[in-house]
């Protein structure tokens, strides 16, 4: 296994592959930062480009697009209060208030720093213990999935603030929107009202843009009409951001807890970074010494949200590489990329190449 890992790292640590990774992450950040564009769209567009590449460079580009597409959603979430991706919903709770205070640079630094290390730790977990985690995920039956879903819904009580009734109403509206479309079991159309376009259901991203973007546009229009716009003095130089090593060290347990939640939720197909966001945010709020600051620009909330959604990337690759089971649309496209280059997935590949991701690449 160590020999395979060493050979795999040598195959990726070259100038060409590193440049491709940087390009992939950069393009992914652009797709993630523009509301309406997703990591799945970025991979779908760039997938034909990888046909003429080597397997290593092709997967480097697609993986860079995946990571950049998920990470880029924090930019409009903090600056515009509009989540660029479903995984950035919770980032709006504290990122936007910090930007309003002129601390957008500090919020960006915390996000990039802890997201990077959360993603790195999740990839290390993927390399060393992916078969074990995948076997645990296989034990989940519909009963366990139902329990996890109910558990996520109960967390609304921690996010509802002072009005539980408003939280319950919001949850019921969300459940109603999710039920629109064709039933997954008997294909019976639900709440389509005879409109064929609604049979496919409502995609998450357009719903989020409608809920967040339209309300924010109306709020901005009203504030500009009734108030004099205040100028916010913000500095983006590192020395003026106010981030010290002591501040980073204080977030170590919050980061580690959120990363583990992200990995755990990521390995379960169908949940993804948005569910990990909520769970880690609520856990951070319950464990915080200052829970009243959450929703008003808390650094702990930003670290929890962005660490979990980046850690979910490595978690979602566990069932993909170990069992050949995609967890969402993005990993389903990654399967297409792997098959395009003749890379096998599943337990038969594990038995021949070991437990590392590099083994999958070398098996080709």
| Distance separating alpha carbons of residues 148 and 268, to the nearest angstrom | 10
- What phi, psi does 189 have (nearest 5°)? -70, 130
Query: Which residue spans within the chain are E strands per DSSP?
Result: 181-182, 189-190
Domain of 83, in residue numbers: 73-327
| Distance separating alpha carbons of residues 73 and 75, to the nearest angstrom | 6
| Distance separating alpha carbons of residues 317 and 296, to the nearest angstrom | 34
Residue 228, domain member (yes or no): yes
- DSSP β-bridge partners for residue 189: 182
Average pLDDT over residues 155-167: 68
Q: Tell me which DSSP letter residue 102 carries.
A: T
Is residue 161's pLDDT more than 70? no
| Distance separating alpha carbons of residues 264 and 311, to the nearest angstrom | 9
Q: Which of 67-76, 152-161, 354-363 has the highest mean pLDDT?
A: 67-76
214: pLDDT confidence band, cut at 50, 70 and 90?
confident
Q: Which residue did the predictor score with more confidence, 159 or 100?
A: 100
- pLDDT at position 363 is 40
Helices (H), 204-298: 204-208, 214-226, 245-250, 252-266, 272-287
CB–CB of 67/310 below 8 Å?
yes
Whose tokens are 């309003």? That residue is 100
Q: Which residue did the predictor score with more confidence, 212 or 331?
A: 331
- pLDDT at position 27 is 92
Residue 224, domain member (yes or no): yes
Is residue 360's pLDDT more than 60? no
Q: Which residue did the predictor score with more confidence, 339 or 236?
A: 339
CB–CB of 285/321 below 8 Å?
no
Q: Which residue did the predictor score with more confidence, 73 or 145?
A: 73
Average pLDDT over residues 316-331: 76
Among residues 75, 59, 72, 69, the alpha carbon closest in space to that of 21 is found at 59
Helix (H), strand (E) at residue 31? helix 15-33
Q: At what angle do helices 91-100 and 104-138 cross, to 10 degrees?
A: 170
- Per-residue pLDDT reduced to its tens digit, 226-282: 554 455 555 555 555 667 788 788 888 999 999 998 888 887 766 667 778 888 888
134: pLDDT confidence band, cut at 50, 70 and 90?
low
Residue 166, domain member (yes or no): yes
Residue 2, domain member (yes or no): no
The pLDDT mean for the chain works out to 78
Number of neighbouring beta carbons within 10 Å of residue 270: 11
Whose tokens are 């020999």? That residue is 3
CB–CB of 353/4 below 8 Å?
yes
Is residue 286's pLDDT more than 50? yes
| Distance separating alpha carbons of residues 318 and 346, to the nearest angstrom | 10
Residue 35, domain member (yes or no): no
352: pLDDT confidence band, cut at 50, 70 and 90?
very low
Proportion of the chain above pLDDT 70, given as a percent: 77
Please report, for residues 107, 131, 226, 303, the alpha-carbon distance to residue 113 in angstroms, rounded to integers and kept in the order given: 10, 29, 38, 9
- pLDDT at position 350 is 46
Helix (H), strand (E) at residue 96? helix 91-100
Q: Which token pair is 30?
A: 């652009």
Domain count, the chain: 1
Q: Which residue did the predictor score with more confidence, 23 or 224?
A: 23
Considering the entire predicted model, what is its pTM? 0.74
Q: How far is CA 86 from the centre of its chain?
A: 7
CB–CB of 94/296 below 8 Å?
yes
CB–CB of 122/262 below 8 Å?
yes
What dihedral angle (degrees, nearest 10) is formed by the CA atoms of 207, 255, 329, 209? 20
| Distance separating alpha carbons of residues 318 and 123, to the nearest angstrom | 9
CB–CB of 40/203 below 8 Å?
no
Among residues 255, 263, 312, the alpha carbon closest in space to that of 283 is found at 255
Q: Which token pair is 71?
A: 């990470």
Is residue 23's pLDDT more than 90? yes
Residue 4, domain member (yes or no): no
Lowest mean pLDDT among 38-47, 55-64, 100-109, 233-242: 233-242
Q: Cα dihedral sign for 145, 147, 151, 154?
A: positive
Length reported for the chain = 364
Residue 364, domain member (yes or no): no
Lowest mean pLDDT among 72-81, 266-275, 276-285, 286-295: 266-275
| Distance separating alpha carbons of residues 42 and 40, to the nearest angstrom | 5
- pLDDT at position 162 is 66
């Amino acid at each position: 296994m160590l020999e395979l890992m060493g050979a795999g790292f040598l195959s990726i640590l070259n100038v060409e592959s590193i440049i491709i990774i940087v390009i992939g992450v950069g393009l992914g950040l652009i797709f993630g930062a523009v509301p309406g564009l997703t990591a799945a769209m970025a991979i779908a567009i760039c997938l034909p480009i990888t046909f003429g590449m080597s397997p290593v460079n092709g997967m480097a580009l697609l993986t860079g697009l995946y990571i950049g597409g998920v990470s880029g959603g924090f930019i409009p979430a903090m600056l515009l209060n509009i989540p660029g991706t479903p995984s950035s919903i919770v980032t709006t709770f504290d990122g936007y208030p910090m930007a309003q205070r002129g601390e957008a640079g500090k919020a960006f630094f915390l996000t990039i720093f802890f997201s990077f290390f959360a993603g790195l730790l999740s990839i290390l977990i993927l390399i060393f213990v992916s078969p074990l985690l995948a076997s645990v995920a296989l034990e989940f039956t519909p009963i366990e999935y139902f329990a996890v879903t109910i558990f996520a819904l109960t967390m609304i009580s921690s996010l509802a603030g002072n009005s539980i009734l408003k939280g319950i109403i919001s949850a019921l509206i969300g459940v109603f929107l999710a039920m629109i479309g064709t039933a997954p079991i008997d294909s019976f159309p639900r709440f389509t009202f005879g409109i064929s376009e609604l049979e496919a259901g409502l995609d998450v991203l357009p719903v989020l843009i409608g809920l967040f973007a339209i309300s924010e546009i109306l709020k901005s229009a009203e504030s500009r009409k009734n108030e004099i716009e205040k100028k916010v003095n913000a500095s983006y130089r590192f020395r003026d951001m106010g981030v010290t090593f002591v501040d980073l060290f204080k977030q170590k347990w919050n980061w580690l807890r959120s990363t583990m939640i992200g990995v755990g939720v990521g390995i379960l197909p169908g949940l993804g970074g948005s569910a990990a966001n909520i769970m880690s945010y609520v856990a951070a709020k319950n464990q915080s010494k200052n829970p009243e600051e959450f929703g008003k620009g808390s650094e702990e909330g930003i670290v929890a949200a962005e660490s979990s959604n980046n850690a979910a990337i490595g978690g979602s690759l566990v069932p993909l590489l170990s069992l050949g089971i995609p967890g969402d649309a993005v990993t389903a496209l990654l399967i297409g990329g792997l098959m395009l280059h003749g890379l096998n997935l599943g337990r038969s590949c594990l038995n021949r190449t070991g437990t590392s991701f590099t083994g999958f690449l070398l098996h080709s």
